[in-house]
Structure 1
Amino acid sequence: MPERRHAARRPARPSLRRRLLTFLLVPVLGVLVVDAVVGYFVALAYSNRVHDADLSDTALTLAEMIGSDALRGELTAQARFLLEYDPDGRNYYEVISDRHGRLIGNAELALPDSRPVDVDAAPRLYDTELGHKPLRGAVMRVANRHDDGDTLTIKVAESLRDRHQRAREILLLTLPMQALLIIAVLSLVWFGVSHGLGVLEPLTARLGRRGHDLGPIGEEDVPVEILPLTRTIDDLFARMRNMLGLQERFIADAAHQLRTPLAGIQLHVERVGNTADPAQQADAVAHIQRLAMRAARTSAQLLALTRTQSPDLPDHDGMAVIDLSQVVPEAVSMRVHQALALGVDLGYEGGETPCLVRGDALQVQEVIDNLVDNAFHYAGRGHTVTVSVSCEGDDAVLAVDDDGPGVEEAFLDQLGERFFRVPGVDEDGTGLGLAIVESIAERHAARVGFGRSALGGLRVELRLPQIAGT
């Protein structure tokens, strides 16, 4: 027989309607049960009050019958019938004389355990038992009209069956009406929840017509209860727009910046194929190598710039505490070999006092690399580049100075703009290094400044807020 394949059962999706109805209907049903229990005890209390009144009347009636005729050991058949008759249970009575003892009765009934019963007082009601059978009794004491000085104790009692039967009858009379009321309430709850959720339909239809629109949802037709949800979605849309904007800008920048080197590479590849002269081929290959390196550097810096602008990176308050006096020297030492190869005198200046800031060590490394690269490219062979760290007031200052040609004051304000390169500089560059520094500085709540260096060239400094107490 072919083997049967059972599809895995998917968990039921959460339903707002089912959740609301559960939270509303279950308590309502619980209220119905509690109401039935309370209703029964209320009916029982009412039944007890009525039967207690009848029991007191029975004791008074027996006292009247005793007072109208002297007792000679028993009652008439009619009187006994009236006292003992109970269609749902059994009635008991007993009359005891202080002087002559037990006169009449059909059971030996106990007296209440509380204070003594006063003569000629109203009947006292109490709970008692007869052979482990619970009874409700009434007792009273009256003077024996036929024997001066003698006192009679009259006790009557009845079973509790009739009381509980009457309570159940009252409950059964009221319960159907309460059940109908509960059913009506449940129906109204069901209708109210279903109708109330209908206010989401215009919003759902509007969102369905948006297509690829990532604009804010707005609040004109949004119920107050789901405003936090729509605002969270708006925040998500804003982050998505930012990410898509970064992606689109990266693609546009890459297309713009890589078009020239790629076109140059294609041109020199054609030169290699169209000439047999080794000197021209070598020159073309050198150009291809230089353009490929430029394209690679441009791609790397475009990625770095996009990465620094990503909203997923932690903000200033979420960064760790780092010591610039330790991070910066380590970063500079990693560039010494490159400086020697380029003929640049790279040095570091800084004290031993810690300069604690809140930041990202990797991004600080990115800042140093870009500033040092910028100095290497524009200062050139035979010049000096100095990286320094100092604490000035509330700021920690990271600076890079060189003794190169510097930048004219008219162009200082444009440094840090994407793709800006100082006119007249022959050295190829992407124009992205200082833009990356600006972007990282913004995330660190830092300020970037450009000016004339004491060495004669350009000075770029990054001022980061120190942590209080350092």
Structure 2
Amino acid sequence: MMIHVFPAGRLCSLRRAMLLWLLPVFVLVGAASAGFAYWTYNRMVATFMDSQMELLAESMVAQEQDIVLPALTGEQIHKWGSYVVQVFDADGHARSNSWLGLAPSLQPAGGFHDVKVNDARWRIYTTPVSEASGSRRVQVLQSGEFRRHLAAERAGTAILPVIILLPLSAFVLWFVAAIMSSAIADIARQAASQDEHSIAELPLDRVPQEIAPLVISFNSLLTRLRDAFATQRRFVQDAAHELRTPITAVSLQLENLRGDFAAGAPAQRFAQLEAGVLRAQRLVDQLLRLSRQESSPAETPVAVNVHEVLHQSINTLITLADQRNIDLGLEETGLPAEVTMLTCSSGDLRSVVDNMIENALRYSPEGGVVDVRVTKSQGKLAIEVVDTGPGIPAELLGRVFDRFFRVPGSDVRGSGLGLSIAQAAAQRCSMRISLRNRDDRSGLVARVESV
């Protein structure tokens, strides 16, 4: 049966577990030490004081004549532990008493006694009746309160280091647990920084022995995950390369056969076949672009002029816009050149812009309008592509970035990879793509902005 040392719920913490288990032990040890010290010092004080009382009483009995006893005060007796001496004759009558605050009362039997007089406890030694004592008996008394106070004082002095050690130990425990938690959190941060582009084993040089098996197991998982990603990328890349050649050959053959089909049903079937081949060719191109994007190392960020990238992208896609009779334009906002500079990979930024504009051109109806503009709000640079297409249902806006996802009911042929590729490229540029439907009319606003 497994014993759980960590409490459940919000108290499940390494620091709290250490304090929960060790502090009660410290408290119990401290209480036991205090009790044992008090018991030990109480016996020590009692033995020493009893010896002194017996020695004083016997020495006074041995005197041939009475000794004048000095008068004592209550402070001397109860605070400083002075002995009260009472002398009696053979008949038990008091002959002298060193403190008038305590009425003489001879104990019949000799030896030590613990009595209570006037709500105060006293330790008494009475000399026994013997020929050596003659006609006198001596009785020595000491305050029980003084004895208890003295024993408690000595025990408190002994237990003081333990009392100081308790909060100090708690602080040290909390501090050490905090350092251990910080080390574990650092391992967690290293694990969280892993992604499919940079999967590396976690270092073991500063990992505690107790956590090392967990980190080793996690490293083994990371290795298998890295191999799985590499295998997936190789498969996609190899499959795309292998498919590209036969699809290109089929496309060329279709180009040669286009003039052999007469108008009517054969020509329509040929057009459908040609559209399917073009779609497959576009899918292969997208898969190749995706595999290169995932396998290639990140480019060194440089200062990129956004306006120049937009002009290059529009010049590349203007042919597609002309084919669909779409008005594609760049709205100049008058922002100075230094304001429209971004520090990122120029290839990634171009990939983002190309995919956003191409999607807008493909989904806008013939004769539509696609506007591209650069804005700056609250210190963040943003690029917006506004089209006049059908838009996207609100409940599907979050899913269009998934790979191979296409909006149901759309008659636009595509692979469903464009936005996924654009989003990955935007993230490497520390940017974010968001989509929203237009409020003034049908259409979509695609916005990419700095995070």
Give the alignment's TM-score, normalised by structure 1.
Answer: 0.43
Give the alignment's TM-score, normalised by structure 2.
Answer: 0.44
